[in-house]
Amino acid sequence: MKVGIFGGTFDPVHQGHMVIAEQVMGELGLSRVLFVPGGIPPHKGASSVRASAEDRFDMVEGAVAENERFAVDRVEVDAGRPMHSVETVQILKQRAPADEWYFISGADEVSNLLAWKDPDRLLEEVVMVAATRPGFDLSKLGHLEAGLRNFDRIFPVECTRVDISATSIRRRMLQGKSVRYLVPEEVYRIIRDRRLYEGDERRSEKGGRLKEETR
C-alpha cells in the first residue's frame, strides 16, 4: 500500500492542506494520507505555536473525518518532546514495513531540506513529495542535487493554488473577521467553541504582519 505522511504544525489546519492531500493522493495513486500534527515542533519556539497540541490534533481529526482515505496520527503529539521528521517516519514505518511511504511537504519547505535533520537518511526511508503551486520555479530545488545523495527521490507535484495560510487565518481572527469556509466546517466549530486564536499578544500595536510559520 502507498501511504502519504503529511506533517506540519496545522495551527490551524485549513482548506489549502486538504487540497494538497487530496491532489497528491490522486496524482501518485496513494491509498491513504496520514496527517501528523507536530506536538512540539523542533524548528520553532514553543511560543510561536498558538493552539495547544491537543487542540491542533482535534482540529485535524475533525478535518479528516469525512474522507475515509485520510487519517490522523498522534505519534508526535504523544511524544511530549520535539521530533524530527526522520524519527517520525521511522516509527510509522515500523508499524507497517511492507507499505511504500511518501512524505508530503510544500515545495518551499523542501527547498530547505539541507537544514532538516539527516535529510539523506530521510530520503532513504521515503519519497519526498514537493507540493508546488502553478508556476513554481522548479530550479529553486536544484541546489539540493549537489548536497543530497538521494536527490532523485524528491518528486514535485503541482497542486491547485489556494491562497490560504495559517497565519492569515489567525490574523483574520484577530481582526474579528470570519474564517468560515477557509477551514473545514468541524475545524471552524472547534475554533469558535474553544475561542482559539483570540487575543494573540504577538501582534504589533499597529497590526503589523505576523511571520509565516512553516514546519
pLDDT tens profile 95-121: 999 999 999 999 999 999 999 999 999
Q: Among candidates 155, 169, 65, 43, which has minimal Cα distance to 110? A: 155
Buried b (16+ CB within 10 A) or exposed e, 137-165: eeeebeebeeebebbebbeebbbeeeebb
pLDDT tens profile 18-40: 999 999 999 999 999 999 999 98
Residue type, 181: Y
Query: Domain segments of the chain: what residues?
Result: 2-194
Asked whether the predicted pLDDT for residue 41 surpasses 90, the reply is: no
Query: Where would I find the H helices in 140-184?
Result: 144-147, 166-174
Residue type, 109: E
**3.40.50.620, 3.40.640.10, 1.10.10.10, 1.10.3720.10: which CATH number matches 2-194?**
3.40.50.620
